[in-house]
Amino acid sequence: MYIENELKFLRDPKNSKIKDIINIIKEADIYLDSLEKENRSKDISIIGIGWDSNTAGKPGARFTPKYLINKLFELSLHNLNLSKTIDFLGFIKVIISNKDYTFTNIKYITEKLLNIYKTNIFIGGDHSITNPILETILKKYSNLNLIVFDSHFDLREIEEGVSGGTYLIDTIKYSIKNNFNLNVIILGIKESANPYYLFENAKKYNVNFLKSFDIINNPNLAIEFINKYINKNYLTYISIDIDSIDSTFIDCVNSSYGVNLKPIDIINIINYTKKNYNVIGIDIVEFNPLVGNLDKSLNNLTEILYYFLFV
């Protein structure tokens, strides 16, 4: 054979890749409907949400799901005996600049996913997508632990326009209004990223937080903090804002704050939480492939997702 269909540099038939064990679902709407109807339960879903119309910075996070999925699929699989099944469902339909349509869609799909999957992985998008996901989870379970990796509180009170910096205050207000219990733990707060009144808002709304430098100086502190403040009777959701990661590792982000958490710290904290508490969902938000060094940043981000799924 002198000509091949594909350009190949490595011919290793045993080079098993992630995409070989993930179920790539073609007709996800029909698939989810039939699973729901038959009351079937499944392990893990992965779904993209390419929404970035709420960013005050440079748009681009809408492209993250595609890049991240492609990168993940090409990684090697170190263990063929996976006990869990993973479905990649595709991308939630978004209409850029139509927030009502898009958020209604996110809620509609999230509700279905909660009925079927034990763990759901949402790949954003800007941080505003976390709001419709959390509102749907709270509506179903009433109580929830939320662990956030973020340089920001996202408790801003803006006068006009849209911003990713308000998702948490919006969700907390929704939770209070409906008598739900949202127990918030933020890891990675940077002083230089938050005006004084947000520290006051954190206090006012009982948001427990650890500063970035405290975790950098003592990574075990984050685990002690989680054990202290988590409610063991609640399910847990994790939200990873990429701006909590040191720019040496990931700089594909609109608002970068230099010295910050290392990917290995985040991997260890997530792994501990996953093993000790009931994590029903996780999102990755605010990664922007249109700024920074994409190759480097994507490698580091994919590692976090790989270790959450396979190790």
- When binding is defined by CB under 5 A, the residue of 150, 246, 251, 283 that contacts Mn ion is 150
Q: Which is nearer to Mn ion, 132 or 188 (CB)?
A: 188
Structure tokens that stand for 233 in this block: 């009777």
In what order do the strands lie in the sheet containing 23-24? 23-24, 86-91, 42-49, 117-124, 279-285, 235-241, 143-149, 181-189, 208-211
- When binding is defined by CB under 5 A, the residue of 241, 246, 265, 283 that contacts Mn ion is 241
Report if residue 152 touches Mn ion, rule: CB under 5 A. Answer: yes
Q: Which stretch binds Mn ion (CB under 5 A): 75-83, 100-108, 144-152, 231-239?
A: 144-152
Report if residue 243 touches Mn ion, rule: CB under 5 A. Answer: yes
Q: Which is nearer to Mn ion, 28 or 215 (CB)?
A: 215
Q: Which stretch binds Mn ion (CB under 5 A): 39-47, 101-109, 242-250, 263-271?
A: 242-250
Q: Which is nearer to Mn ion, 29 or 195 (CB)?
A: 195
Q: Which stretch binds Mn ion (CB under 5 A): 103-111, 114-122, 202-210, 234-242?
A: 234-242
Q: Which stretch binds Mn ion (CB under 5 A): 28-36, 146-154, 220-228, 295-303?
A: 146-154
Beta carbon of residue 245, minimum distance to Mn ion (angstroms, whole number): 11
Q: Which position's Cβ is nearest Mn ion?
A: 152
Instruction: Say if residues 210 and 186 touch (Cβ distance below 8 Å).
Output: yes
Q: Which is nearer to Mn ion, 243 or 303 (CB)?
A: 243
Beta carbon of residue 258, minimum distance to Mn ion (angstroms, whole number): 14
Q: Which is nearer to Mn ion, 119 or 256 (CB)?
A: 256
Q: Which stretch binds Mn ion (CB under 5 A): 130-138, 151-159, 198-206, 256-264?
A: 151-159
Beta carbon of residue 69, minimum distance to Mn ion (angstroms, whole number): 23
Q: Which is nearer to Mn ion, 88 or 149 (CB)?
A: 149
Q: Which is nearer to Mn ion, 119 or 255 (CB)?
A: 255
Site for Mn ion in 268-307 (CB under 5 A): none
Nearest to 152 by CA among 206, 212, 204, 213: 212
Instruction: Say if residues 285 and 127 touch (Cβ distance below 8 Å).
Output: yes
As to burial, measured by CB atoms within 10 angstroms (0-12 exposed, 13-18 middle, 19+ buried), residue 74 is: exposed
Instruction: Say if residues 55 and 254 touch (Cβ distance below 8 Å).
Output: yes
Report if residue 126 touches Mn ion, rule: CB under 5 A. Answer: no
Cα distances from 180 to residues 119, 157, 169, 203, in angstroms, run 21, 21, 14, 18
Q: Which stretch binds Mn ion (CB under 5 A): 37-45, 176-184, 243-251, 287-295?
A: 243-251
Report if residue 156 touches Mn ion, rule: CB under 5 A. Answer: no
Q: Which is nearer to Mn ion, 241 or 251 (CB)?
A: 241
Sites of contact with Mn ion (CB under 5 A): 150, 152, 241, 243
